[in-house]
Amino acid sequence: MTGERALPYLLLAPSLLFLALLFLWPLAEAFLVAFSGPGGQWSLVNFREMAEDLNFADAVRNTLLLVAVVVPIQLALALGLGVLLGSLDRGRDGFLYIWTIPLGISDLAAGILWLAMLSERGYLNSLLAALGLVEGPVLWLSYETPLALFLAVVVAEVWRATAIVLVILVAGMQLIPKEYYEAAEVFGAGAFQRFRRITLPLLKPSIQTALILRTILAFEVFAVVVVLGGRDLPVLAGEAFAWQYDYRNAGVASAYAVLILTVSLAATWLYLRLLRVREESLA
């Protein structure tokens, strides 16, 4: 009897160990480094240094803005595409495969791809010149055009990572029984009402999962930004990288890491609260 009860724990143990070794330990290490002063004593000096840095305010603002712009766009796009896919009789899987291709590309490669399009001698400038809309090559991705740079990052991120939201939402939508839509339609609900009264509430768990996943990843946005803008568009993860490898200051880099973790946890907690699904309403 006791053996039977212990079995699940035994089976889970290796993965737990794995997680502890590769995740919890480095995490604890990062915390230690972030909160220790030059002499090794407990101190907030790293955080002070981080906050007093010129780029810090920009990095916080840019990261938050990116999350605030990219995640809602992705959610809206994925919802729209998901509903469209749901109304297809056939070919749904084909479309889904095509849209998920960007998922298979690393974010660095994605950044380089967009760089090729948006750089001075890129496709966009060639196209605009061919159409006679611009005189010569325009510099889109520089610190002098922060808005264009920001938009470029938004576009690249949306292109790259909307598919994961789409996949999660489509999987969720397929779990909603067809009868609910039929009943709603018989009782007078139009397409929008069916979306609002049936799809959205029943899709809540999937939306929650997708939002948490995407938001956490968006707080860590790094490679795409670095490729497109270097440090012209400072973001939190980029600053952590710069402090670690350019300034050789592991303390401040760890402080950034702790900050990112805290913000991500806060966002997750918020989603869990706001999108709570009443247990009794799950049939």
Partner 1 sequence: MARILVEDIKKTFGKFVALKSVTMEVADGEFTVLLGPSGCGKTTLLRIIAGLETADRGEVRIGERRVDHLPPRSRNIAMVFQNYAVFPHMTVFENITFGLRMQKRGSEEEIRRTARWAAELVHIESQLDKYTGQLSGGQRQRVAVARALAVRPQVLLMDEPLSNLDALLRLEMRAELKTILRECATTTIYVTHDQVEAMSLADRIAIMHGGEIEQYDTPLEIYRNPATLFCGGFIGSPPMNFLEAEAVAPGRWRIGDFELAGPAEGARLLLGIRPEDLEPAGEGEPALVGTVQVVEPLGSHLLATLRLDGRLLRFAGDADLPLRPGDTLRLRPRADRLRWFDPESERAVRS
Binding residues for partner 1 (CB under 8 A):
177, 179-180, 182-190, 193, 197-198, 201-202, 278, 280-283
CB of 168 to partner 1, least distance (A): 19
Which residue's entry shows tokens 């995407």? 214
* CA 202 to each of CA 3, 187, 194, 219: distance values in angstroms, whole numbers, following the listed order: 40, 18, 11, 27
- Collapsing DSSP to helix, strand or coil, 281 comes out as helix
Kindly state the smallest distance separating residue 94's Cβ from partner 1, in Å: 22
User: How many angstroms separate the CA atoms of 117 and 157, rounded?
Assistant: 14
CA distance 41 to 44: 10
Decide whether 49 or 185 has the Cβ nearer to partner 1: 185
As measured in angstroms, the least distance from the Cβ of 193 to partner 1 is 6
Q: Residue 199 carries which DSSP code?
A: I
Place of tokens 């660095």: 108
Q: Nearest distance from residue 205's CB to partner 1, in Å?
A: 11
Q: On the CB side of 27, how many CA atoms lie within 13 Å of its CA? A: 10
Nearer to partner 1, 98 or 191 (CB): 191
Least distance between partner 1 and beta carbon 73 (Å):
27
Query: What secondary structure does DSSP assign to 44-82, as a single string?
Result: SHHHHHHHHSHHHHHHHHHHHHHHHHHHHHHHHHHHHHH
Bridge partners, residue 42, by sequence: 36
CB of 153 to partner 1, least distance (A): 37
Here the tokens at position 217 are: 């990843």
